[in-house]
Amino acid sequence: MLSKNKIKSFRSLEMKKNRDANDVFVAEGPKVVHDILSIHKELLSAIAATEEWFAQENKLTDDLTCEKITVSADELTKVSLLCHPQQVFAVFRKFKQITSDELPSLADKLTLVLDGVQDPGNLGTIIRIADWFGIEDIICSKETVDAYNPKVVQATMGSIARVRVSYMELEQLFDALPPTLPVYGTLLEGNNMYSEQLSHNGIIIMGNEGKGISPKIRQFITNGLRIPNYPEGRDTADSLNVAVATAIICADFRRR
């Protein structure tokens, strides 16, 4: 049974200040919880699920030492942060972020940098895109939406378990990287990306949905890229959704 205090405690995690205070986040639904639990079982803090879900995931959950609560579908609706609850509600401790000592290692691979992305759905989709294209790290500016926002976690469809998302002042990142490392940025005045030489390593910066990459971060870009419309020169949409643009750019980097 879920006590009133437990319901209140679980529901409070919808707010960032409460997640931060407890250093935890919420994951819901069979797919998301299964993927995180499969990789980070040691981070599970509490779990409430239907009897059917526990039966289906008995190999993953039989040896859990954290708080396990069997609930009915009706009880789950009292704690769920979703419009349509999905069998399981789990609380995990947050993943570790990249340390300053590890920043130089990013020079050997492809890394996404997000400068002020605000929409939870966009961030969740970008994390999922990074997972698909084998990008292990996403570095976010402090102005970027919280990766542990429940809407972000849901939109990742479990990919948040495989992609490390870290937050910092982006100037700190660029100060730690070799000055010769390619830094790509999406700019309206950038070069046609399909005619550019793209490296196997480097930084790809994606900007805010409305304002793009901020002036203070533009100065670090060494290679401005533009996704051309087709055919070029005709009237078309002003821009692409940032998650869609990220997918197109990542696909072209991996194609090369």
User: What pLDDT score does 238 carry?
Assistant: 81
Nearest to 27 by CA among 173, 199, 155: 155
User: What pLDDT score does 233 carry?
Assistant: 77
Task: Order the strands of the 44-49 sheet from edge to edge.
Answer: 24-28, 88-93, 44-49, 67-70
Nearest to 124 by CA among 94, 168, 85, 158: 158
Both tokens of 119, joined, read 């929409």
Report in angstroms the alpha-carbon separations of 20 from 16, 100, 241, 244. Answer: 6, 21, 29, 30
Both tokens of 42, joined, read 């040691």
User: What pLDDT score does 83 carry?
Assistant: 86
What phi and psi, each to the nearest 5 degrees, are found at residue 17?
A: -60, -35
Reported confidence tier of residue 234, pLDDT bands at 50, 70, 90:
confident
Res 1 pLDDT > 80: no
User: What pLDDT score does 2 carry?
Assistant: 85
The DSSP letter of residue 111 is E
Mean pLDDT of 211-220: 96
Rg over CA atoms, the chain:
20
User: What pLDDT score does 256 carry?
Assistant: 75
pLDDT in tens, 108-153: 999 999 999 999 999 999 999 999 999 999 999 999 999 999 999 9
Res 44 pLDDT > 80: yes
pLDDT in tens, 62-85: 889 899 999 999 999 999 998 888
User: What pLDDT score does 147 carry?
Assistant: 98
User: What pLDDT score does 231 carry?
Assistant: 82
pLDDT in tens, 87-100: 999 999 999 999 99
Nearest to 164 by CA among 147, 149, 179: 147
- % of residues, the chain, pLDDT over 90: 90
Would you say 126 and 112 are in contact if contact means Cβ atoms under 8 Å apart?
yes
pLDDT in tens, 24-36: 999 999 999 999 9
Nearest to 178 by CA among 214, 213, 203: 203
Max Cα distance, the chain (Å): 63
Q: How many helices (H) and strands (E) does the chain have?
A: 11, 10
Mean pLDDT of 50-57: 95
Pairing outcome for strands 202-207 and 110-115: parallel
Mean pLDDT of the chain: 95
CA dihedral 79, 82, 84, 85 (to 10 degrees): -40
Distance, CA of 210 to CA of 207 (rounded, Å): 8
Query: Whole-prediction pTM value?
Result: 0.94
Distance, CA of 239 to CA of 212 (rounded, Å): 10
Mean pLDDT of 162-189: 96
